[in-house]
Amino acid sequence: MLGLMQQWPLLCHKIIDYAAQQHGDREIVTRSVEGPITRTNYRSVRERALKVAQALDRDGFKEGDRIATLAWNSARHMECWYGIMGVGGVYHTLNPRLFPEQIAWIMNHAEDRAIFVDLTFLPIVEAIADKVGSLKKIIVLTDDAHLPKESKLDLVAYESWIDSVDGDFEWKQLDENAAAGMCYTSGTTGDPKGVVYSHRSNVLHALISCQPDALGVGSTETVMPVVPMFHANAWGITFTGPMVGAKIVNPGPLMDGASIYELLETEKVSFTAAVPTVWLMLLSYLEETGKKLPHLQRVVIGGSACPRAMTKTFRDEYGVEVNHAWGMTEMSPLGTLGSVKPAYAGLDGEAVLDLKEKQGYAPFGVEMKVTDDENNEHPWDGSTFGRLKVRGPAVASAYYGGAGAENFDDESWFDTGDVAHINEHGYMQITDRAKDVIKSGGEWISTIDLENLAVGHPDIMEAAVIGVQHPKWDERPLLICVRKEGKTPEGSDILGFMEGKIAKWWMPDDVAFVDEIPHTATGKIQKMELREQFADYKLPTA
Ligand code: ADP
């Protein structure tokens, strides 16, 4: 017997239709590439997205066409996404922090037919456009006045392009399983791999993320996605925001401490999200200026492990609650969030920080398990770590073109490549990327734990741990640190600080200081580069 309920396909444009109808006046604020702060609302974003869809349709773009975006978070970028999806196209976010050749490789792999590009990134497109044979149209996210007059490319200004249609257009009726968006993982090993989101997975992910113990945002909230739309869908906020009618504040091109602070203050942002490196910049700006954060209530931190010291500073100095989250491009991206379950009610002080060091638990819609290399499941005991595997309606079932098939098994489990343990209350803690874990005398040492501890030293800005060859133990940990400006701690100070807080055999064998730690295009520590840089390093213990 079948249920007798309606078929209501889960299509992304229904989200912006809803926002325009129920929350039409709610603001979208953007620090524009041209400079000024601009203001619009959901009603207008929808009207203009319809024009994007209509203009794409008129220009001959069809269902399934991949349409790239190379842009900061902005209202125009949102309009493009909804317009592209509304005509049945597939928005394909490109990460401008990649090398131009990598971007060209990705565009060719996806066969992008058009691109929406911010003025900032026009030089990238100018450098690679003739290497991307599929590319037919370049739309610059600006108006005629700001469009560069001299370019070797055939450019059109977004504002005049959408003004060339009247907006009398209806969203295409699509299968909810149709592709809606695409994002390539940064490919620290091998070529980048394309993740293809469907309308259904984006809508379900937005519903999952709205749960009170997930992002838990509502219509009264002012949300600033500092995490870029080109980094795993801005962690879904481009869908979650309109689904609940939250006010959105887009930081545009400026992510330094002073610029982020300015928007947090002037727009009274209550909720924000980004990788730890962004918050390092904000916190050091606050420390230098003595400014406070009276409006901000919650910050979601993920993408790489949120150091304990960061959670503590936000809480104790600024009264801001950190929600530590974990996810992946392949998961749309939310996987776990660190809300506090009743089992931990009443925790305070350091015990809260212990809990928040974990990446949190999975909301409804994400299944997870930890296994050994033979796929035997580990107990949820908070210490046995192994391969973290996940499945759910917003988790990838394959990569575009069939790459990386070994990461998916025939029961739909996706091997995340992370090493983790899960405790009896379901809280997961990442101990490493499988490729970064240090194998010392056959035992594993978690680099993330060591890094977290080292940045707890008041004179340390950032820390990374890598394995260095050792004649007896195969590998031993080397701690690489960036000192805070004006501070001069020695290696022995840092090791002294760490002593007693971890198992003796986990203690780094040496400390090296550098001016800067390299980061990937998504803000993670570039361990591969560090390993190359320190390939010939001789440990004093070797
Ligand atoms: P990339 O394109 O670099 O793979 P993703 O954002 O998809 O970018 O990266 C996902 C990976 O980032 C995860 O598999 C995990 O290793 C790491 N990661 C994300 N959040 C956290 C976190 N809170 N703590 C530790 N690692 C994290």
CATH number at residue 122: 3.40.50.12780
184, 323, 326, 431, best to mutate for ligand 1 pocket (most atoms within 8 Å of CB): 326
Cα of 304 from ligand 1 centre, angstroms: 5
Catalytic residue chosen out of the listed positions 330, 357, 451, 462: 330
Please indicate whether residue 242, judged by its CB atom, sits closer than 6 Å to ligand 1: no
**Are 393 and 463 within one domain?**
no
Where residue 517 sits, what CATH number does that domain have? 3.30.300.30
Question: Where among 433, 464, 493 does a domain terminate?
Answer: 433
Cα of 232 from ligand 1 centre, angstroms: 10
Please indicate whether residue 186, judged by its CB atom, sits closer than 6 Å to ligand 1: yes
Phi, psi of 331 (to 5 degrees): -115, 10
- Assess if residue 526 is contained within a domain: yes
- Assess if residue 319 is contained within a domain: no
Where residue 411 sits, what CATH number does that domain have? 2.30.38.10
Q: Which amino acid is at 100?
A: P
Please indicate whether residue 117, judged by its CB atom, sits closer than 6 Å to ligand 1: no
Which residues are within 8 A (CB) of 7 and not within 5 positions of it... i.e. 6 or more apart?
A: none
Please indicate whether residue 524, judged by its CB atom, sits closer than 6 Å to ligand 1: yes
**Are 95 and 238 within one domain?**
yes
Say how many C-beta atoms besides its own lie within 10 A of residue 221's C-beta. 19
What integer pLDDT is reported at residue 442 of this predicted model? 79
Please indicate whether residue 328, judged by its CB atom, sits closer than 6 Å to ligand 1: yes
What integer pLDDT is reported at residue 272 of this predicted model? 98
pLDDT tens, the chain, 542 aa long: 999 999 999 999 999 999 999 999 999 999 999 999 999 999 999 999 999 999 999 999 999 999 999 999 999 999 999 999 999 999 999 999 998 999 999 999 999 999 999 999 999 999 999 999 999 999 999 999 999 998 999 999 999 999 999 999 999 999 999 999 999 997 656 789 999 999 999 999 999 999 999 999 999 999 999 999 999 999 999 999 999 999 999 999 999 999 999 999 999 999 999 999 899 999 999 999 999 999 999 999 999 999 999 999 999 999 999 999 999 999 999 999 999 999 999 999 999 999 999 999 999 999 999 999 899 999 999 999 999 999 999 999 999 999 999 999 999 999 999 999 999 999 999 998 888 989 888 788 989 999 999 999 999 999 999 999 998 899 999 999 999 999 999 999 999 999 999 989 999 999 999 999 999 888 889 998 999 999 999 999 88
Taking only the tens place, the pLDDT of each residue in 299-312 is 999 999 999 999 99
What integer pLDDT is reported at residue 373 of this predicted model? 87
**Are 98 and 46 within one domain?**
yes
313 vs 353: CA distance, rounded Å: 11
**Are 37 and 115 within one domain?**
yes
What integer pLDDT is reported at residue 189 of this predicted model? 63
Ligand 1 atom 3 nearest Cα? 186
Question: Where among 406, 433, 460 does a domain terminate?
Answer: 433
Cα of 409 from ligand 1 centre, angstroms: 21
Predicted TM-score (pTM) of the model is 0.92
**Are 454 and 411 within one domain?**
no
Please indicate whether residue 305, judged by its CB atom, sits closer than 6 Å to ligand 1: yes
Which residues are within 8 A (CB) of 261 and not within 5 positions of it... i.e. 6 or more apart?
A: 282, 285, 286, 291
**Are 501 and 426 within one domain?**
no
The enclosing H or E element of 312 equals helix 308-318
**Are 178 and 69 within one domain?**
yes
Q: Which amino acid is at 412?
A: S
Ligand 1 atom 9 nearest Cα? 328
**Are 404 and 520 within one domain?**
no
Cα of 169 from ligand 1 centre, angstroms: 39
**Are 23 and 155 within one domain?**
yes
Tell me whether residue 444 is one of the annotated catalytic residues.
yes
35 vs 285: CA distance, rounded Å: 22
What integer pLDDT is reported at residue 434 of this predicted model? 85
Tell me whether residue 330 is one of the annotated catalytic residues.
yes
- Assess if residue 236 is contained within a domain: yes
- Assess if residue 324 is contained within a domain: no
Domain count, the chain: 3
Helices (H), 319-440: 350-357
3-class DSSP assignment, residue 439: strand
What integer pLDDT is reported at residue 240 of this predicted model? 98
**Are 86 and 184 within one domain?**
yes
Taking only the tens place, the pLDDT of each residue in 323-374 is 999 999 999 999 999 999 999 999 999 999 999 999 999 999 999 999 998 9
Q: Which domain holds residue 57?
A: 13-207+228-251
Q: Where are the beta strands (DSSP E) in 160-264?
A: 179-185, 193-198, 222-225, 247-250
What integer pLDDT is reported at residue 542 of this predicted model? 85
HEC letters along 237-269: HHHHHHHHCCEEEECCCCCCHHHHHHHHHHCCC
Ligand 1 atom 10 nearest Cα? 328
What integer pLDDT is reported at residue 188 of this predicted model? 59
Catalytic residue chosen out of the listed positions 268, 439, 487, 501: 439
What integer pLDDT is reported at residue 162 of this predicted model? 98
What integer pLDDT is reported at residue 187 of this predicted model? 60
Taking only the tens place, the pLDDT of each residue in 486-530 is 999 999 999 999 999 998 999 999 999 999 999 988 888 999 899
229 vs 202: CA distance, rounded Å: 13
Cα of 91 from ligand 1 centre, angstroms: 22
**Are 519 and 389 within one domain?**
no
**Are 53 and 116 within one domain?**
yes
- Assess if residue 332 is contained within a domain: no
3-class DSSP assignment, residue 472: coil
